[in-house]
Structure 1
């Protein structure tokens, strides 16, 4: 039977950190106190994958990680140590490529493929030239230019034929071989080859619903391939004739074009993808195609190994990647739950401020972004943050109206990167309007603009309206009402009746097959609009305090109050007490320690603003013309403060990614080399300036302790708040990583082993004396994990969450709460402002004798001053003795 984790430790597996590598540190993780190893996806991924989300084969374990044998060794080692296992799984999409047998079969056979229904492909495109074809946008130039210049070739290897272009190989439609083999038969004067050519040409071309004929076609095709292979092996002149024909074909652009037209795909310039792609992707990644996992046979085919491992108990749980991309997330979760009733299941559901996971989903909770943001926002000082915003606006001259930035970036993403998704939705809504006489005169252009506008006005990732089950909640109705009213207000140039009609379709007031399809697809569309428009664009444009620019956050909010933080935790204890609590993931924009240091800037906002102004003046001679601009400087200096020490190479790589994500002066698809080079030169120059570096180090040293205490506070919050705490690899010591791939750098586990062993002989004072090595953070984690390991019920479903309020002049600097009757947690906030002076601030401990796990100090119930409680160590974890 699966076991709910007491805690998890996230490992990122890849070719440089394999199953055997993970097995080699399992004993360290056991000693640390975690109960479950939580790994990145490890089904067969695309070659060279560094993350595992680009699955190409669900039937096997990733060979680059060591394959099935190494996987078994890894699992055996976990069993030997008594460690459980949680796996990240990817139901929404697969990676394209020759290794993906489903995709290869689709490219080869089109709608006659056995797997044509596995993928979310629009076979009935509004464009005649793309009907029953898949657009393959891989060419570096216009198709005609590439064909004329010989950039596309047909290649024979044995009896197999491929089309090769842009470094990729694609299959050849079997029926199109008639043209090659028929001519080759003439050259070789071979009746047998002529017969095979005719047989290929006569292969049936059934549609998606004709399963019987599809299977017959597949059988006949394989027979013909075997016969051709035998013939080529027996008669050398046959091969020579075929090669002669292929060579002539490749040398004749007109003939080659005619041959390529017979394929079930259309090769195209890579820039066509944004507007013409005919399949649903993972966000805007062309190489990740959407799966129709809502079809039960697709679910069973792609989840066979995962379900097997869950039933065997080899896996105790799974994390569902991007459930909002699914057509019917509730159905998916229920199907998974039915097959693994005891599994611990969490979903990577991104919740916006004030939003909670739907209680109808039969899973334990989310992957923890909501907790991350609650823990961070309760530690940031609101009034300082507001003042910092005024300094930011004055220094940069940039807008601080975050909602306006978000709207503009979401519109831009919908117009550009997600244009093909908009076109597909537009086609459906045009057909719907055509069938309703009062809406039939709305133009395609108006409909396209209205779809973009409503999507940009969504305040959350998506709604969960299910037409097939007549399901719509009041929450969904309100979200749709607000979005459509916002769209009407924003676009008075569009007839408001069109927005009203869209609202009625989305709220199931207008019904029909097309209407249902529009609802499903629109809900799958708003998620990537939010992710790409906000997280991957606006978060790099609104830079008041970049620590707050985190997944699921609204960085324009001025933090949250203690009452709001306690209310959030109380809600989670009541609704999802076994959700995951996390401070860092493979997708966070910055590590928890970088964020913890940066939020101190809201307490030294005036000094920071003055410092940035001074640095801007003194470093002006390092600029190239106007670059880097003031907005980039504000972002850069925050990054350097948060991640210091950082090498020039790491900083350059990070800034390039940040600048391209912002899409202001450069982007991934249109690199502004002059701008990027200017920023790189600026970075090299200021890091080579010893006087500037000394100033930077002095500023960091002034906030260093406050940042570290913030880190200890949020770490203890994670291990004692409602939920299952997760630790991202390496985060048990100070970790100043930035966004991926920076956060996938090798972890020094031997150092961590050494420090963990040395720490066992230290007391709190000894640990604090080794602050720079990260021992206080390791101390908090080890002590909290040990307590959770010994008494899991003290933190479980029955352990109530009860806020405790401090008394005295500095009471607003205290976060305290009780879990059940045995555990009490106390930690500071706004340390830089407090500077250790607690004054008369105190807290009342419940009756009984209490022991501080962090210091071994014991104390009776009753009033205790914070200056005494936190004298030896900055945070306190108390347990009731007896």
Structure 2
């Protein structure tokens, strides 16, 4: 396997197409990346902003520049000696615009007789394919019309089967292989598998070799022709058998660097798949966690209780949200499971309960059977009356060859993602820095020892796994999290201001209010429009005061009033700005520290677009805003001319750290092959996080507020072997065996030492 030294993620999309991406090649090479890593490039639903709703697997999206655009990108990358890693979506296809998706159109037109009827995971026992697109109105079908040999509903177009075109539009509709129904019926009655709760994304059956071949032919051609060297696999948990799928992909692309977007819960290990590793959420949880002061957790429990009156534990909240997703949002999927056990009357309740109690996203039978046992005992504890039924079901759910077990594994992943990431994370707002994909918010922080242990494990088990600090799916940008980590060092100050602010700008949902206040100071200065857009999304995801399906105007106007007050009340605005200002310098220390650690630790580091400067983005679509690459090029040029940037608003210090580490990883990979923790001596030694990768030593400052309370580094020192070392960021040389930390970290809160 050929693996990158580092990747740089670009959200290629219609307003930043392949041509614009090709123009980055020289800059990315200067930055030190070895591979560009792009969003999906196949044809997506017309107007798609992200590309994850592929409608045609046979060609490059014309909206991105088509085949010619990919060829030009490939040429530009080769000229700059860069490789290409591309994102693929094997689990589902976009069906929002049937006419744009040739295989779906054919299935709607010909039903089971379509040559593509096996492409999609459809339950044909119902007869017609349910399409939930009609208005919530009993007379909606009266708006159907026949035009150009198609059935039309407003701007939506559907095919008409041969020989069924006579009569009124309603009569013709009744003869089709599909049935258009009220949009509200989708969650409960849909008869095709979908991505999470999204009816516009239909599940593909890549377990069928013919479907695998058809959906991968173009991507594998890129691989064979040398256009791409790596593949990132989106959402493998939706697949019927991810292990089997990945074995086939690896066989088809044996030298490709394969990474899977697999979210591991803390302590969970990746199955033994023929891949290089994950996309790095596990590393993100560890890197961010080691910059959090774990000793103040009780303060935040008290504050959370005071603000919300909350008595629900994280575990109970997750059980509630996952139960609701399993029985309501994913009711159609639950019913499909229950139809496989018609003899058990309580099957729906028991299956939903097992999914709600499942401790990880899913199992990969025969691997992960112990998680089913855990779910079974927890479900029995919560529902003693179901124990008999649970035992009957788990006997079948343990068997990898059972259809029930296969579908249940696909179900639990969706229940976890929707119940936790998209709901509970927005309701349980004790400390938002840790509400991140791949982390359990109960893991308040990590000790250096825990971090070192995790890093040693990664080097041993998955040395070429991706590591990341931000992705297009993270809930908050990396520098928002770095600044919010400071709150754990000033819990008293935070308690005082936030208790005052919730009175000054009240909101009927106190948990959501606490989230918004944290995000406001974490992303400050932030525009009113961005903060309001975030607040509305957060409120609808939480689903307590308003929802996506039924927005509550009263609640949303209260939300707007709260956000407006932040900008329109001069005293409040000044106070927020002052508080954010007070946590910004230590936040920047954390930002540089976590960037250095992520880029130097075991694994292959990814830099999400733009994050080589400060990035205070929020959840998507905020994190897909345009990046000013001209500014980054100019700053990098100045650094290369010898400028040592201060740690200031420009973020150039972060660009210095990023470029110097990436270049070193690319030029001297042999320095990054080992891992040995280094412990500082002295009374504030716990404020140093350091390790030796085998000739290069990374040194970062932890808990900067506490460090300044101690009056700085004093006599803290690192013991190194008696070689000469050069500090990469400043160019200063050091010799001897004892290195005073105050001297080493005089200019920046981080250092990178290379053995001469």
The interval holding the TM-score normalised by the smaller chain is over 0.9
Question: For 1:851, which of 709, 726, 731 is the aligned residue?
Answer: 726
Distance 2:440 2:154 in 1: 41
What's the offset of the Cα at 1:609?
0.7
Give 1:397-796 correspondences, 5 Å limit: 397-399=309-311, 401-430=313-342, 434=343, 442-443=344-345, 446-465=346-365, 472-473=366-367, 476-494=368-386, 496-508=387-399, 516-617=402-503, 619-620=504-505, 623=506, 627-763=507-643, 766-768=644-646, 771-795=648-672
Q: Quick check: 1:841 aligned with 2:716?
A: yes
Please tell me whether the aligned partners of residues 509 and 545 of structure 2 are also in contact (alpha carbons under 8 angstroms).
no
Q: Quick check: 1:154 aligned with 2:154?
A: no
Aligned to 1:319: 232
Distance 1:613 1:605 in 2: 12
Query: Equivalent residue of 1:114, what SS?
Result: coil
Please tell me whether the aligned partners of residues 393 and 400 of structure 1 are also in contact (alpha carbons under 8 angstroms).
no
Please tell me whether the aligned partners of residues 58 and 303 of structure 1 are also in contact (alpha carbons under 8 angstroms).
yes
Q: Quick check: 1:817 aligned with 2:691?
A: yes
Please tell me whether the aligned partners of residues 173 and 263 of structure 1 are also in contact (alpha carbons under 8 angstroms).
yes
Query: Equivalent residue of 1:681, what SS?
Result: helix
Question: For 1:276, which of 189, 194, 201 is the aligned residue?
Answer: 189
Query: Equivalent residue of 1:772, what SS?
Result: coil
Please tell me whether the aligned partners of residues 396 and 631 of structure 1 are also in contact (alpha carbons under 8 angstroms).
yes
Aligned to 1:328: 241
Q: Quick check: 1:84 aligned with 2:83?
A: yes
Aligned to 2:702: 829
Q: Between Structure 1 and Structure 2, how many residues are aligned? A: 752
Aligned to 2:161: 173
Distance 1:802 1:166 in 2: 64
Distance 1:327 1:507 in 2: 15
Query: Equivalent residue of 1:428, what SS?
Result: coil
Aligned to 1:112: 113
Distance 1:107 1:616 in 2: 53
Distance 1:31 1:628 in 2: 50
What's the offset of the Cα at 1:261?
1.9
Please tell me whether the aligned partners of residues 434 and 444 of structure 2 are also in contact (alpha carbons under 8 angstroms).
no
CA pair 629-480 structure 1, distance change in 2 beyond 3 A: closer
Unaligned residue ranges in structure 1 (runs of 5+): 125-130, 181-245, 251-255, 435-441, 466-471
Aligned to 1:53: 52
What's the offset of the Cα at 1:7?
0.8
- Name which of structure 1's ranges 524-533 and 547-556 shifts more when overlaid on structure 2: 547-556
Aligned to 1:879: 754
Deviations 1:631-655 (A, max 9, x none): 2321111111001011111111110
What's the offset of the Cα at 1:166?
4.4
Query: Equivalent residue of 2:493, what SS?
Result: helix
Distance 2:458 2:511 in 1: 38
What's the offset of the Cα at 1:611?
0.5
Aligned to 2:304: 392
What's the offset of the Cα at 1:761?
2.7
Deviations 1:525-569 (A, max 9, x none): 000100000000000001011111100111122212211111111
Please tell me whether the aligned partners of residues 600 and 830 of structure 1 are also in contact (alpha carbons under 8 angstroms).
yes
With structure 2 as the length reference, what TM-score do the two structures score?
0.98
Aligned to 1:363: 275
Distance 1:877 1:861 in 2: 17
Distance 1:686 1:849 in 2: 53
Query: Equivalent residue of 1:536, what SS?
Result: helix
Query: Equivalent residue of 1:174, what SS?
Result: coil
Deviations 1:261-295 (A, max 9, x none): 21100110001111100010011100000000011
Please tell me whether the aligned partners of residues 130 and 181 of structure 2 are also in contact (alpha carbons under 8 angstroms).
yes
Question: For 2:743, which of 868, 877, 882 is the aligned residue?
Answer: 868
Unaligned residue ranges in structure 2 (runs of 5+): none
Query: Equivalent residue of 2:721, what SS?
Result: strand
Please tell me whether the aligned partners of residues 13 and 50 of structure 1 are also in contact (alpha carbons under 8 angstroms).
no
Q: Quick check: 1:135 aligned with 2:130?
A: yes
CA pair 506-861 structure 1, distance change in 2 beyond 3 A: farther
Aligned to 1:164: 152
Deviations 1:384-428 (A, max 9, x none): 233122112112212351111111000011111111000000111
Question: For 2:674, which of 774, 780, 800 is the aligned residue?
Answer: 800
Please tell me whether the aligned partners of residues 726 and 733 of structure 2 are also in contact (alpha carbons under 8 angstroms).
yes
Distance 2:291 2:476 in 1: 16
What's the offset of the Cα at 1:346?
0.2
Give 1:179-194 correspondences, 5 Å limit: 180=166
Q: Quick check: 1:145 aligned with 2:22?
A: no
Please tell me whether the aligned partners of residues 823 and 877 of structure 1 are also in contact (alpha carbons under 8 angstroms).
yes
CA pair 778-290 structure 1, distance change in 2 beyond 3 A: same
Distance 2:437 2:721 in 1: 37
Distance 2:335 2:5 in 1: 47
Aligned to 1:298: 211
Distance 2:738 2:318 in 1: 48
Please tell me whether the aligned partners of residues 426 and 512 of structure 2 are also in contact (alpha carbons under 8 angstroms).
no
Distance 2:131 2:471 in 1: 33
Please tell me whether the aligned partners of residues 322 and 348 of structure 1 are also in contact (alpha carbons under 8 angstroms).
yes
With structure 1 as the length reference, what TM-score do the two structures score?
0.84
Please tell me whether the aligned partners of residues 428 and 511 of structure 2 are also in contact (alpha carbons under 8 angstroms).
no
Distance 1:558 1:719 in 2: 23
Query: Equivalent residue of 2:326, what SS?
Result: helix
What's the offset of the Cα at 1:259?
2.8
Please tell me whether the aligned partners of residues 233 and 261 of structure 2 are also in contact (alpha carbons under 8 angstroms).
yes
Aligned to 1:382: 294
Query: Equivalent residue of 1:486, what SS?
Result: helix
Distance 1:629 1:305 in 2: 49
Question: For 1:262, which of 155, 162, 175 is the aligned residue?
Answer: 175
Distance 1:861 1:265 in 2: 77
What's the offset of the Cα at 1:493?
3.2
Distance 2:444 2:522 in 1: 19
Distance 2:153 2:359 in 1: 42
Please tell me whether the aligned partners of residues 92 and 291 of structure 1 are also in contact (alpha carbons under 8 angstroms).
yes
Distance 1:345 1:616 in 2: 47
Deviations 1:126-177 (A, max 9, x none): xxxxx221000000124x5113xx311222x2xxx21111421111111323
Deviations 1:362-399 (A, max 9, x none): 00000010000000111111112331221121122123
